[in-house]
Amino acid sequence: MKFLHEFLLLLILAFAIFELVQAQDQTEFISLDCGLVPKDGSYREKLTNISYKSDADFIDSGLPGKINDTYTTRFQQQVWAMRSFPEGQRNCYNFSLTANKKYLIRGTFLYGDYDGLNRPPSFDLYIGPNKWTSVSILGVINGSVHEMIHVVTKKRLEVCLVKTGETTPFISSLELRPLNNNTYLTQRGSLIMVARVYFSSTPSFVRYDEDVHDRTWVPYLDNKNSVLSTDVSVNTDNFYDVPQPVAKTAAVPANRSEPLKIDWILDDITAQSYIYMHFAEIQNLDEANDTREFNITYNDGQAWFSYFRPQNFTITTIYNPRAVSSPNGNFNFTFAMTGNSTLPPLINGFEIYKVLDLEQLETDQDEVSAMVNIKTTYDLSKKVSWQGDPCVPRLYRWEGLNCSYPPSKAEPPRIISLNLSGSNLSGTITPEISKLTQLIEIDLSNNDLSGGIPDFLDTMNLLKIINLSGNPKLNNNSVPIYLQKKIDSKILTLIRDETRKKSTSSPVAAIAASVAGVFALLVILAIVFVVMRRKQKNNEAPGSRSVTAGTVKSDTRSSSSSIITKERKFTYSEVLKMTNNFVRVLGKGGFGTVYHGNLDDAEVAVKMLSHSSAQGYKEFKAEVELLLRVHHRHLVGLVGYCDNGDNLALIYEYMANGDLRENMLGKRGGNVLSWETRMQIAVEAAQGLEYLHNGCRPPMVHRDVKTTNILLNERSQAKLADFGLSRSFPVDGESHVMTVVAGTPGYLDPEYYRTNWLSEKSDVYSFGIVLLEIVTNQPVIDKNRERPHINEWVAFMLTSGDIRSIVDPKLMEDYDKNCVWKVVELALACVNPSSNRRPTMPHVVMELNECLALEIQRKQGSQDTYTKDNSVEFSISSASDFAPRAR
């Protein structure tokens, strides 16, 4: 037979037969009817006598709902209501439990067309930071029940639903039952229930209160076996508390001379399994003549237990102390009479579990408690991502947090930065922050905090940056003495608002103010005079083309410093001369063709605008005006331009190594860009973009950030190019403008595309796509992938938790895994659908610089063992190692 880990909700069918008796002690039971309204509602379920209550006190998110009324008569009450989670990727239930206690945890899911879409969903279920299982609902009234046995190592436990596709996760009921810690022992991990079977000719399921732990026992019988039963009570006191209906029945072979056989198949052929078999002799044996003794073997005759005799009317449980597996997922157990036996073998019940390895270590629990208290103190329950473990899985890390991930699996992740800027915080700065002892950076800017700068900040020895600006009620004047010493020693940077001291009415102060005012007026007049003289001088020679005039922007890495001087206008004949009549083509695009040229013994690139180009005179003029006024070592420099009737040209400094995309694809000599080089390019491109956003006045948005617009010189220094679509912002504080959508498909910010509202966060989105290309070397859009767009594909692939599944194989795993994780997390933050949740470019630059530093350290040999896995291989050396034990 084949047992599935999902039952189609047969256990809760209304026609199931249960004996109605007074409920036993349920004081440690947690029985949640998810989505039950009102939120303080409760009831006693009629068939099981279990008391259910609303889940509202255990979760901060989700919407209550009800299955279609057509289906309520078919099912028990605890699945009539449900809770769905249309918002957020991870939504978690939170429980306060007894540490180091073993629990049975069961989730039930019945779709029941609650949303009227007739679209059964699929999603993942997590226990803490580790994936428990995938939930797939096969039909409107086909439910799914998932059960596991798990030791809660801390006082907190999260059960999370994770969105994996287009459909919405939901849950009908969630139940937790304490178990005896001496049962269901494993060497590692938790246990996922595959089957729990007893033998009966009736279709009744056994559950609470026949089973005091509320385990669900499924009746099973095939035509090769028959059933024995008794009315005599069986002693079941052996930790496992096998219920009487299970203990009082047993399977024996239909043909007494044949062995008893039980077979099953595990869908996951790599799974490790634990099997628990329950036996009791339930026939009165004639001591003189009757003997029941048998050998148990499995999978082609391997010994499991020999010469076993069930005890009279007393349960004995046999289990394997070490996990076993089958190379093809098939298990077959044979129970065969020994030569001493006069009676055939029997079995009363058995349970099958597969091991769930808990590979993700939870975040340091003191820091988790601190974050929970911070969330409560400032009422941050509306932060959708602030659910479950703060740091792991990395893909679902809390918004505003950065974490460190030690290479040793024995060390938990730690929180190293906290960004709560613009989170509507009020009141004083909570001392819970001091419990985040590994913090390097904290940003509490742009809130409504009051009080003073707390003393506890000077005890946080790793802090490098504290941002308290934009809190008008906060007293910035008084800085704790030790904190001030760190500031004076350049160990720490404190960012706060400029404070104005109250003026006095003394005559001395008034005189001083008058003198200062006169002095300031003189300075202003002098500046105006100088500016006017410079303008007059420039007007005297409007056609000057002197290559050496003006100030040279120095850059030790620049390939064309000799010609990046004062920009100038060229005639078309001069363009023909410098390109040698356009003899050498560097590239072609929608704008036209780029040619190689020479000017004053320096190489240049000449972009000639095609008459049919989509980039018209307006874009040409915008790019000229932008590049005439911006200068940065990571923006391609404009040497000059040609505006001669129909002949429009831009003359740039020459970038010998082409664009980033060409180099990633190996079209520039075939050399693979190392991870360090990729990080250096990412940092430099980000610095160029950050300058456009914050260094320009007015600030600029590029609008076409992509790998083909990141060019490399002969030293592989990166520079951002192609500013024809760039737009500026006013300097009066406006953060976005409405404009016609422009950009490249795949890189285009979906929020900008949808609303036409452009902001610098649109560039951040595009740069996030560039980062994903740098990591994966995959096309941005590939219709042959299961997820065509690169950000969706990366998120989908990372559900396995293996970063290697997405990294460019050309790198041959020569990189720091933590660094790659950091870049991917940063990229996914950049491509967040909501622009408000994307980081700023200064933050992106800071994060990438940290990654580059990590990689440089690794290359220098200081982290040779940083990413090595400290995994221990588990194997079974001999049959004696896993010989089952009896209780």
Peptide bond into 884 cis (omega under 30): no
Is 537 flagged in the annotation as binding? no
* Residue pointed to by tokens 């037979």: 1
Helix, strand, or coil (residue 509): helix
Torsion of CA 636, 638, 643, 647, to 10 degrees: -50
Q: Which of 211, 214, 704, 722 is catalytic?
A: 704
Query: Using CA atoms, how far apart are residues 823 and 845, in angstroms rounded to an integer?
Result: 11
Query: Using CA atoms, how far apart are residues 827 and 305, in angstroms rounded to an integer?
Result: 55
CA distances from 641 to 495, 546, 606, 636, 723 (A): 43, 14, 9, 14, 14
Peptide bond into 38 cis (omega under 30): yes
For 352, list phi and psi in degrees, rounded to 5.
-125, 130
Sequence-ordered alpha helix ranges (H) in 609-745 = 617-629, 660-664, 675-690
Burial 841-880 (b: 16+ CB within 10 A, else e): bebbbbbbebbbebbeebeeeebeeeeeeeeeeeeeeeee
Burial 155-193 (b: 16+ CB within 10 A, else e): ebbbbbbbbbeebbbbbbbbbbbbbeeebbebeebbbbb
As a whole number of Å, the end-to-end CA separation of the chain is 27
Q: Give just the sign of the alpha carbon dihedral 818, 820, 823, 829.
A: negative
Instruction: Select from 8, 87, 86, 77 the least CA-distant residue to 36.
Output: 77
Q: How many other C-beta atoms are found inside a 10 Å radius of the C-beta of residue 118?
A: 10
Q: Distance from CA of residue 807 to its chain's centroid?
A: 16
Are 440 and 416 in contact by the 8 Å Cβ rule? The answer is yes
Parallel, antiparallel, or unpaired for β 474-475 and 451-452? parallel
Residue 182 CB contacts under 8 Å (≥ 6 apart), including other chains: 239
For 220, list phi and psi in degrees, rounded to 5.
-145, 140
E strand intervals along 266-387: 273-279, 294-298, 302-308, 316-319, 330-337, 349-356
E strand intervals along 441-486: 441-443, 448-449, 451-452, 465-467, 474-475
In sequence order, the β-bridge partners of residue 417 are: 402, 441
Q: How many other C-beta atoms are found inside a 10 Å radius of the C-beta of residue 885?
A: 12
Our answer to whether residue 704 is catalytic in this structure is: yes
Element (H, E) at 125: strand 122-127
- In the chain, the amino acid numbered 112 is G
- Report the interhelical angle of 817-830 vs 841-859 (nearest 10°): 170
Two tokens, residue 7: 């039952």
Peptide bond into 253 cis (omega under 30): no
E strand intervals along 9-111: 30-33, 42-44, 51-54, 63-66, 81-84, 90-96, 101-109
- Indicate the DSSP class of residue 695: I
Parallel, antiparallel, or unpaired for β 190-198 and 218-219? parallel
Parallel, antiparallel, or unpaired for β 273-279 and 349-356? antiparallel
Instruction: Select from 393, 396, 394, 401 the least CA-distant residue to 370.
Output: 401
Catalytic residues: 704
Q: Which residues are annotated as a binding site for ATP?
A: 607
Q: Which residues are annotated as a binding site?
A: 607
